[in-house]
Amino acid sequence: MIPLAGLLVGILAGLYFDVSVPLELQPYLPIAIVAALDAVFGGIRAVIEGIFNDKVFVVSFIANVLIAAFIVFLGDQLGVGSQLSTAVIVVLGIRIFTNVATIRRHIFHA
Amino acid sequence: MSLLNDLFAKPLDPGYEDAAARRRAAGERPTSERTWRSPALALGLVALGLLLTMAVLQVRNTASVVSSERQGLIEQIHNEDARVSRLQGEVSALEAEVGELESDLLQNSAAGQQTREEVESLQATTGAIAVTGPGVVVTVDDAEEQEAQDGTDRVLDLDLRMVVNGLWAAGAEAVAINGQRITPLTAIRSAQDVIQINYRPMSAPYEVSAIGDPRSLARDFGDGSGGEWLRRTATSSGVRFDVSSDESLTLPAGNTPLSYAVPGEGAP
């Protein structure tokens, strides 16, 4: 319940404060979100499997977001930004799907 | 392939396994009691929610900015269009005034009278003043059901040019399309799929009015190149056309401003 409340608090805070992203950071926002989603689903799966660890979660969350943004930034500098974003999304997307599938099996036993 | 295999086989961050193994080795439980209540997980979700909202709001704002910009441009186009129409009306009014003043001046003497008639007939020929007389109206319209993606079942600028040429060849003395007089300076061309006549955008149906002998004009047009072209286009692309005689047609004046061309042959 607490993680769900956290998500709600985050959404409400975003709506309330109406933070705007600086123009230079805008291309990295979607990638950062996918990376954060990957870390969060990984963490939830770890909780369910009983091996959750605060430090691993925090480090993986921050590292995921930064590395994903950095890869896209590098791609932008090299002129292949959209291709590298696709690569990041494919890799993280596969991980998200597999982790969510495992969570689903744990919860519904199906 | 091993990278992709790894990705599918071990989607969970290996860090969790390692940390759990270390704790087991140290004789502790692999995880602390309050897992769901972990502040780190809650904070991570707060951050995720914040990021999501920011991204969604950003996309919405950008979309509204883009659409309002577009709306502004459309408004600007309409305003400029209206301005051009108004200015053209002003020019026509001023030209009419100039014509009136000219004829007033020339009316005073017999020689002036003759000059005035000459000027008027020349103006009628070039399309500088409105003319009235019997003639024919050729109506050309797009195909009833437009299926072709490339717009071949629509009236093209070429079709209108062929109709106008055919009318001249059949003895027309003045021609106008949708109220735009064909003058020596008129261009019939298409820009971005819109036919422009005298640089004004036109839309179907196109009414080509021509003044001339009402009997022979219709017949000669039908037998000549214009009629033949229309019939061929009608069978090949479904464009519709109709020719009708009219007892009295009034064709408006067109703009014939000359900036560089001066009358006469030699250098002044």
Chain A contact for B49 (CB, 8 A cutoff) = yes
Segment A62-80 shows an average pLDDT of 89
Is the pLDDT at B34 greater than 60? The verdict is: no
Tens of pLDDT, residue by residue over B180-200, are 889 888 888 888 888 888 888
Domain ranges of chain B: 130-251
Residues of A in contact with B39 (CB under 8 A): 54
Residues 6+ apart with CB under 8 A from B177: B160, B164, B188, B197, B202, B206, B207, B208, B209
The per-residue pLDDT of chain A, averaged, comes to: 86
With beta carbons less than 8 A apart as the criterion, state whether A2 and B37 touch: yes
Confirm or reject contact between B14 and chain A (CB < 8 A).
no
User: How close, in Å, is residue B54 to chain A by CA atoms?
Assistant: 6
- Whether residue B52 and residue A10 make contact (CB cut-off 8 A), yes or no, is yes
Q: Mean pLDDT throughout B6-12?
A: 77
- CA A79 from chain center: how many Å? 24
Distance, in Å, from the CA atom of B174 to the CA atom of B246, rounded to the nearest integer, reads 14
Which residues on A lie below 8 Å from B30 (Cβ)?
50-51
pLDDT of residue B242: 87
| Residue B17 DSSP SS3 | helix
Within 8 A of B50 by CB-CB distance, chain A residues are 10-11, 13-14, 19
Contact B47 A10 (CB under 8 A): yes
* Angle ∠(B85,B86,B88) on CA atoms, nearest 5: 65
Flag if A57 and B39 touch (Cβ within 8 Å).
Answer: no
From residue A110, alpha-carbon distances to A48, A96, A102, B12, B250 in Å are: 15, 18, 10, 19, 83
Element (H, E) at A40: helix A28-49
Using the beta-carbon criterion (under 8 Å), do A42 and B11 form an inter-chain contact? yes
Q: How confident is the model at residue B32 (pLDDT cuts 50, 70, 90)?
A: low
Inter-CA distances, A51 with A101, B19, B133, B233, B263, Å: 18, 8, 97, 78, 97
Residue whose C-alpha is closest to residue B173's, from B214, B222, B226: B214
Q: What is the per-residue pLDDT across A14-56, written as a single tens digit (0 to 9) for each?
A: 888 877 777 778 888 888 899 999 999 988 888 888 888 888 8
**Range of lowest pLDDT (A32-46, B148-162, B172-186, B235-249):** B148-162
Q: Which of B46, B60, B64, B65 to mutate to test the interface with A (most CBs of A within 10 A)?
A: B46
Please give the DSSP secondary-structure letter assigned to residue B108: T
Most B CBs within 10 A among A20, A34, A38, A52, hence the mutation to make, goes to A52
Asked whether the beta carbons of B166 and B138 are under 8 A apart, the reply is no
Q: Is B197 left (phi over 0), alpha (psi -120 to 50) or beta?
A: beta
- What length is written for chain B? 268
Asked if B159 and B236 touch (Cβ cutoff 8 Å), the reply is: no
Q: How far apart are CA B253 and CA A81, in angstroms?
A: 59
Run of H or E residues at B215? helix B214-223
Is the CB of residue B223 less than 8 Å away from at least one CB of chain A? no
Q: Minimum mean pLDDT among B5-9, B126-130, B215-219: which range?
A: B5-9
Which position has the token pair 């998200």?
Answer: A96
What is the reported pLDDT for B1? 60
Nearest Cα residue to B154 out of B145, B163, B166: B145
Q: Does residue B267 carry a pLDDT above 80?
A: no
What backbone torsions phi and psi does residue B253 show, to the nearest 5 degrees? -75, 150
Reported in sequence order, the residue ranges of chain B that DSSP labels E, i.e. its strands, are: 131-141, 174-177, 180-181, 188-191, 194-197, 200-201, 206-211, 240-251
**CB distance from A50 to chain B under 8 Å?**
yes
Summary mean pLDDT of chain B: 83
What gap in Å lies between CA B186 and CA B189, rounded to an integer? 10
Classified by CATH at the fold level, domain B130-251 comes out as Alpha-Beta Plaits (3.30.70)
Residues of A in contact with B40 (CB under 8 A): 54-55, 57-58
State what percent of residues in chain A have pLDDT above 70. 99
Domain ranges of chain A: 23-108
